[in-house]
Amino acid sequence: MEIHPYRATQETTANTNLTAAHAVDRDLSTCAATNVVDGEVWLKIEFGKTAFIHKIVIYGMFYSNYFDQSDWCAKNVDNFRVCINDANDVDVSVYQGEVLQKSCGTLQLTYGLEQSDQIYTLICNVYGETVKLSKTKGNITVMEVVTLGKDRNLDIAELAPTRITHSKTSEDDERLFAAEHAGDRRLTSRSDTEPVDGEAWLKLEFQPGSFIHKVVFYGRFMTHWYNTNSSCLLSEDHFRNCVDFDQDGALVEVSVYQGEVLQKSCGTLQMTYGLEQSDQIYTLLCNINGDSVKLSKVSGNIRVYDLAVTSKYRKEKIAEITPTSVTQGRPFRDKEEFKAANAVDRDLSTRAETGLDSGEIWFKLELGKTFFIHRVHIYNIFCSFWYLPDAYCAKSRDNFKTCIDQDIETDVSVYQGEVLQKSCGTVKLTYGLEQSDQIYTLFCNTEGDTVTFTSDGIVMRIAEVTVVGSGKKMLGLTNL
């Protein structure tokens, strides 16, 4: 990942056409040049913030097919060697303020004549805010300096599509081959798309301005396939025929769009005959902004067992998120002591409770804005040393088990508005008697503005719930 400087400066400028800015202008026909003054010459690339500097790539002047044949250094090979000698032996270092962090090495130029001969890479792997090129005699002449970093504040997470559509469902069988099967997280089902007007296409739509990092395609495999009665498992030849059937002639092109405008073709999907599940997972890198991913081909069907699209996010400090609103189905028997607010009052002796005669069993935390939700902690009632020993659930182990059985499973999901982003999993309560036994954690790792809890049981009890996450922001092209 390139780190873009906000400023380039140098001690002196050989002439007005050789300013420091030319070292970072993305133009190899210009250069920065500076001469020694008072025993030192330097060129600084400043980033305005601390970054992890992985490596520095320096582009020097070359001879063959140089842009300006009238340049003295480009007139003949002997002149070129003189220029190389004069610009050689440059120390490349990383600084934090005025403090040296690391010398990445000395730039040792060669007499190679081609442009490719004059590209030099120095590995730094250190934090800093400035790259400094310096020497004590001669001059520094560079065509371009590119700094590459590893942003350790980046994370990758899956994007949840807002809609999945395709050109036509194969055989008009929505139960078996609907577009939604491409994103249902079930490899036992598949989306099967027929062409219309000469093209088959499958489209996954996302929130506007999404950064599409990569697209992961899951195909049919042979070893330990779910349906042991499948004819595809009879032999390797049968399996190859099934792969050919899924490929169905033409290759599938995977592209990113913004509205109807093509942003980038990420490549074509070429399936192999690998037998293992890991052999049938195909990844295409996109690294571009867009609001949809489209799979398309000019003949044959598109068959997809599952698709996953990932994005890059900038990490922020993970901390507890305070909800702006807490609601639930009607409190158990309309008792105030079981209201929804009890689940976020930092008091384990109170609880929210809904169910039995209260209709649909649900509980909802609204966060007020979109967060990256890392995990959810749920604190259930417990038996040993419960605050109210005369309470029915705490009177005996049998009573406690009865209470647990009433609320045995709760689904926890993240929504963006009314759109499901991800099911974080199901809380399956145990019969553990201690407080520590009744703390349950589900990992979500998705964006959303609401966390919901639903149950098909008899009652839902929550002593306390906390949501942990951050205000992670999806990356765009401007801050990659």
Closest CA to 450 of 345, 362, 346, 323: 323
Please give the Cα distance from 331 to 207 (Å, whole number): 35
In this structure, is residue 239 part of a structural domain? yes
For the segment 454-480, the average pLDDT, to the nearest whole number, is 70
Q: Do 172 and 252 sit in the same domain of this protein? A: yes
CB contact at 8 A, 252 and 267? no
DSSP 8-state code for residue 196: B
How many folded domains does the chain comprise?
A: 3
Q: How far apart are the first and last CA of the chain?
A: 7
Please give the Cα distance from 63 to 69 (Å, whole number): 9
- Read off the pTM: 0.44
In order of 21, 39, 73, 88, 347, the CA distances from 109 in angstroms are 22, 21, 15, 6, 69
Strands 419-428 and 409-416: antiparallel
In this structure, is residue 80 part of a structural domain? yes
Closest CA to 304 of 159, 201, 446, 436: 201
What three-state secondary structure class fits 200? strand
Q: Do 81 and 165 sit in the same domain of this protein? A: no
Q: Please check the confidence at residue 337 and state whether its pLDDT lies above 90.
A: no
Q: Do 130 and 165 sit in the same domain of this protein? A: no
What is the reported pLDDT for 313?
65
Q: Do 140 and 212 sit in the same domain of this protein? A: no
Q: Do 183 and 239 sit in the same domain of this protein? A: yes
Q: Please check the confidence at residue 386 and state whether its pLDDT lies above 80.
A: no
What is the reported pLDDT for 476?
38
* Enclosing domain of residue 180: 157-314
Q: Do 303 and 339 sit in the same domain of this protein? A: no
The count of other CB atoms within 10 Å of the CB of residue 401 is: 14
Helix (H) or strand (E) holding 50: strand 41-59
What is the reported pLDDT for 49?
84
Among 262-276, 384-398, 429-443, name the one with the lowest average pLDDT.
Answer: 384-398
- pLDDT band for position 317 (50/70/90)? low
Q: Do 86 and 196 sit in the same domain of this protein? A: no
What three-state secondary structure class fits 345? coil
Among 258-267, 271-280, 387-396, the range with the most confident prediction by mean pLDDT is 258-267
Closest CA to 419 of 201, 159, 191: 159
For the segment 318-342, the average pLDDT, to the nearest whole number, is 83
What is the reported pLDDT for 276?
86
CATH code of 323's domain: 2.60.120.260
Q: Do 55 and 189 sit in the same domain of this protein? A: no
Among 134-148, 380-394, 402-416, name the one with the lowest average pLDDT.
Answer: 380-394
For 125-160, the pLDDT digits (tens) are: 888 999 999 998 888 999 999 998 865 556 667 888
CB contact at 8 A, 10 and 51? no
Q: Do 242 and 269 sit in the same domain of this protein? A: yes
Q: Which residue has the tokens 């709760």?
A: 410
In order of 312, 385, 470, the CA distances from 389 in angstroms are 50, 7, 38
CB contact at 8 A, 280 and 262? no
Please give the Cα distance from 255 to 269 (Å, whole number): 11
In order of 161, 258, 259, 289, 303, the CA distances from 208 in angstroms are 11, 8, 9, 9, 26
Closest CA to 217 of 271, 261, 179: 271
Please give the Cα distance from 406 to 103 (Å, whole number): 65
What is the reported pLDDT for 287?
84
For 273-299, the pLDDT digits (tens) are: 888 888 889 999 888 889 999 999 988
- For the chain, how long is the longest CA-to-CA vector? 99
In order of 179, 191, 345, the CA distances from 460 in angstroms are 34, 36, 17
Domain boundary (268, 298, 314) is at 314
What is the reported pLDDT for 475?
43
Q: Do 133 and 260 sit in the same domain of this protein? A: no
What is the reported pLDDT for 151?
58
In this structure, is residue 135 part of a structural domain? yes
